[in-house]
C-alpha cells in the first residue's frame, strides 16, 4: 500500500516534477493552493487543464493533456472527479510517470490498479500538500501552527 508514511515520504522526496491535472488558475481553488505550496517548496509544477491550454498558471505553461507535455514528469496529481481518473492513469503510464496521485475525495480503484500493474506508485484519497506539510514540516505555512490561539483577526 502506497498510502503508508514510508512510501509517501519516498514518493514526495523522489517525485520533483508534478503534472497537476485539473489545476485551476483561480487562486482560491484547492488545486491552485496545493500547487503553489508545492512550487514554493522546490517542486516543478506542470499545469494540465484544457480550459487554460497555452496560458500560464503559476509561471508555467498549461497543457491540454498529459500527452502534450514536452518533458518528463514524475508525478501525475489528479484534481478531477473519480470517474474521470482512469484516462489520466492511462496517460500517466504512457508518458512514463512514476506516480499517480489521486487527491482528497478521489479514489478510482480501476485507475489505482492500472497504475500499480504498470509499476507506478499510486496514492489515493490524499492531498499532496497536506502530506508534504505533515511529513516535511510545512504545517506552519499560511498561518497553520502559528502559536497564536485567538478568534480575533490581527490588525
DSSP-derived 3-state class of residue 145 = coil
Q: Output the domain CATH number for residue 123.
A: 3.40.50.720
Q: How many domains does the chain have?
A: 1
pLDDT in tens, 98-121: 999 999 999 999 999 999 999 999
For residue 113, what are the domain limits?
Answer: 5-77+91-138
Query: Is this prediction's pTM over 0.85?
Result: yes
pLDDT in tens, 44-66: 999 999 999 999 999 999 999 99
Binned at pLDDT 50, 70 and 90, residue 4 comes out as: confident
- Answer yes or no: is 152 within a domain: no
The yes-or-no verdict on residue 140 having pLDDT over 70 is no
CB half-sphere exposure, 148, CA atoms < 13 A: 10
Q: Where are the beta strands (DSSP E) in 11-120?
A: 17-21, 44-48, 56-57, 60-61, 75-78, 99-102
- Answer yes or no: is 18 within a domain: yes
Amino acid at each position: 500500500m502506497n498510502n503508508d508514511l514510508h512510501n509517501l515520504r519516498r514518493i514526495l522526496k523522489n517525485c520533483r516534477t508534478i503534472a497537476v491535472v485539473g489545476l485551476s488558475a483561480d487562486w482560491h481553488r484547492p488545486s491552485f493552493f496545493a500547487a503553489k505550496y508545492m512550487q514554493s517548496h522546490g517542486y516543478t509544477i506542470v499545469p494540465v487543464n484544457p480550459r487554460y491550454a497555452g496560458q500560464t498558471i503559476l509561471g508555467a505553461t498549461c497543457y491540454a493533456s498529459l500527452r502534450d507535455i514536452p518533458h518528463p514528469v514524475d508525478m501525475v496529481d489528479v484534481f478531477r472527479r473519480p470517474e474521470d481518473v482512469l484516462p489520466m492513469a492511462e496517460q500517466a503510464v504512457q508518458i512514463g510517470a512514476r506516480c499517480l496521485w489521486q487527491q482528497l475525495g478521489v479514489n478510482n480503484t480501476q485507475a489505482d490498479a492500472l497504475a500499480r500493474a504498470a509499476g507506478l506508485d499510486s496514492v489515493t484519497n490524499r492531498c499532496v500538500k497536506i502530506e508534504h506539510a505533515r511529513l516535511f514540516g510545512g504545517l506552519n505555512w499560511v498561518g497553520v501552527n502559528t502559536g497564536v490561539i485567538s478568534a480575533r483577526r490581527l490588525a
